[in-house]
Structure 1
Amino acid sequence: MEYRRLGRTGLQVSAIALGSWATIGERLNDDASSALVAHAYDLGVTYFDTAETYADGRSEEVLGAALKRLRAPRESFVVSGKVFYGTHGRRPGSWGLSRKHIVEGCHATLRRTGLDHLDILLCHRFDPDVPLEETVRAMSDLVTRGDILYWGTSEWTVTQVAEARDIARARGHAPPQVEQLLYNVLERDKVEREFAPAAEGLGIGLTIWSPLAYGLLSGRYDHGVPADGRLARAGYEWLSASVFGTDPREETHRRLAAFSRLAAEHTVSPSRLALAWVLRHPAVASAICGASRPEHLSDNAGALDVVPLLDRTLLARIDALLGMPEPPPPRTEDKETTR
């Protein structure tokens, strides 16, 4: 395993992290979740990610129990949580980024996980209905109290993160230091055009979710949607529609199969090649992977060995097979936010 410093913090995280969305506490029962967490830790994975909204809090409970069963020293692993969506639907005060929900949501996460602090707490989305100063101060106060060690954001814009950073600077609050966002070989724009050029100036580290594009890049979707795949599960119709969009599905499957053949040429799995593509980016601190079986994690862990294979020739072939345009240059206004 490789360990990378998270932005300007002193925190080191494993380059591959274990996520819990739609698996731990939902698809996997307590015993299977514990086995998965233990296997991840044995592989050198020290970063575990969850959120209050995953399985309506059940994911946090099961992950916390798995970490307790692991009996690993608390200082040997990192846990990140997220606050915004809540666990009780959209009742007033039970979601969003008000001071009320941030504080109560954080404390509820600590109770569910059984931890005395979170290493990282992220604002799961931006809340336009709450003054940003209120959100920044609430997160900073949690740092001061020791309930969390670092705070950050997920799927915010560069401008929003910069505004939060500026408020923190002006008022002596703890600034955001992490942004978690979608990035994979099929979804590149927000990282490569916006955040990567601005990350150093903003003083934030990037963690990545869905590096395998919800499993599309695992090889299992090359010839259609498998019956046991996440995109075929009841309740995930919205995700399937979002992933496939308006493009003909046959064309998507053709491109995915071509990507798998390219991986086979280099005697690696498509998952390893896709994950290595993400990890090769110098701005990426950690890629958060979901898994339902230990062997999935073992395969993912081998991605770090594939990174050196990604020279210009191979990167160009990947782009050509997937029909991806060259990444656009960063916009001038993105550079302005780093000052």
Structure 2
Amino acid sequence: MEERHVGRSGLLVSRLALGTMTWGQDTVPDEAAAQLSAFVDAGGTLVDTADVYCDGDSERILGHLMRELVGREDLVLATKSGIRPDGRYDGSRRHLIAALDASLDRLGVEHVDLWQLHVHDPATPLEETLSALDEAVASGRTRYVGVSNYTGWQVAKAAAWQRAWPGRAPVVSVQAEYSLLSRDVEREVVPAAVDAGAGLLPWSPLGRGVLTGKYRTGIPAGSRAASTAFAEFVQPYLDEECARIVESVVTAAEGLGVSPLSVALAWIRDRPGVAAPVVGARTAAQLAQALGSEALTLPHEIRAALDDVSDMAPAHP
């Protein structure tokens, strides 16, 4: 698998990241082990988790696998903090540092490679939140820092604040939902990240699974849209406009002799500013399909057609 730098930083990662949001819930430990093994065997390095994923079980499972299956040195380890177990946002220095320490304990490591603010907390001054990033880097708890689910102005403000004084930890990454079905981040988040020199780590790059084409004729049993936990998450992308985009992806896939999943991943992987899409598979078989996209580079004509069919309506300003 090819590697890329995250933005203008020195952090080098595989151009596909392994997401672990379902580890400990939909993905049992044995499946997680199979996923991680296949990912590393394919040359993958960047693994993304968070303290709230499955009540911490995602980090616990990943920590166990780093001790028993894959060496810590083989991974670029990323986690996130900023959401309390009850769902409340908390960007206070007190919560963030305590949350990072708890993550390190669950992972069984002394440091992570990338620590990200999971969300923006409007109740806490941003400069206080960002001071936690500085402490985490200065103390050796993390090597790099980033933000997640920030708006464009929040990305710009955070990046500018961190650049304003020597010794502050620069924002090197921005996580955001981004796919052929969700391009609104191109209005402000993507330009803000590129301007700040931060690499994009798109989450849900397959449009919450819809871009695989599995919902074209209905909702399959066992799919996320059929589950009580994820039905509302998938539903927004089951409308007519999204269906039209999916059909274009399927047509392109048929013409290239590959899967719709590979087309959708190749499109997002090679968008300006993207470092690595974060793919969260429930099974090793699903991950294998995603890893198969590595060999695909979309022809210019197909990329242009997909750009056109998924383009956003003009906005003001």
Q: Which residue does 2:10 correspond to in 1?
A: 10
- 1:296 has 2:296 as partner: no
Any conservation in 2 of the 1:154–1:179 contact (CA below 8 Å)?
A: yes
Shift of 1:266: 1.0
Provide the aligned length of Structure 1 versus Structure 2.
316
Hey, what's the Cα distance between the residues in 1 that align with 2:18 and 2:294? 15
Structure 1 residue runs without a partner (length 5+): 332-339
Q: Which residue does 1:336 correspond to in 2?
A: none
Q: Which residue does 2:127 correspond to in 1?
A: 133
Hey, what's the Cα distance between the residues in 1 that align with 2:181 and 2:147? 22
Match runs of 1:156-175 below 5 Å: 156-172=150-166, 173-175=168-170
Deviations 1:92-129 (A, max 9, x none): xxx51101110011011111111211111111111110
The normalised TM-score by structure 2 is: 0.92
Return the match for 1:281 from 271, 295, 314: 271
Return the match for 2:77 from 76, 79, 104: 79
Structure 2 residue runs without a partner (length 5+): none
Shift of 1:198: 3.3
Shift of 1:165: 2.4
Cα 1:222–1:241 shift into 2, 3 Å? closer
Match runs of 1:102-121 below 5 Å: 102-121=96-115
The percentage of counterpart residues that share the same residue type is 37
Any conservation in 2 of the 1:117–1:148 contact (CA below 8 Å)?
A: yes
Return the match for 2:306 from 298, 318, 322: 318
Report the 3-state secondary structure (helix = DSSP H, G, I; strand = E; otherwise coil) of the residue aligned with 1:26. Answer: coil
Shift of 1:89: 4.7
Counterpart amino acid of 2:190? A
Hey, what's the Cα distance between the residues in 2 that align with 1:64 and 1:294? 18
- 1:66 has 2:56 as partner: no
Any conservation in 2 of the 1:232–1:240 contact (CA below 8 Å)?
A: no
Deviations 1:4-36 (A, max 9, x none): 0011211111001110112x1111221221111
Shift of 1:42: 0.5
Shift of 1:69: 1.8
Hey, what's the Cα distance between the residues in 1 that align with 2:292 and 2:70? 26
Hey, what's the Cα distance between the residues in 2 that align with 1:330 and 1:298? 42
Shift of 1:40: 0.8
Match runs of 1:169-188 below 5 Å: 169-172=163-166, 173-188=168-183
Counterpart amino acid of 2:11? L
The normalised TM-score by structure 1 is: 0.86
Hey, what's the Cα distance between the residues in 2 that align with 1:186 and 1:242? 10
Cα 1:76–1:270 shift into 2, 3 Å? same
Shift of 1:222: 1.5
Q: Which residue does 1:42 correspond to in 2?
A: 41
Cα 1:326–1:297 shift into 2, 3 Å? same
Any conservation in 1 of the 2:91–2:121 contact (CA below 8 Å)?
A: yes
Hey, what's the Cα distance between the residues in 2 that align with 1:197 and 1:253? 28
Q: Which residue does 1:306 correspond to in 2?
A: 296
Taking only aligned residues, the RMSD between alpha carbons, in angstroms, comes to 2.1
Any conservation in 1 of the 2:14–2:46 contact (CA below 8 Å)?
A: yes
Deviations 1:280-306 (A, max 9, x none): 213110011011222322221222322
Hey, what's the Cα distance between the residues in 1 that align with 2:70 and 2:170? 32
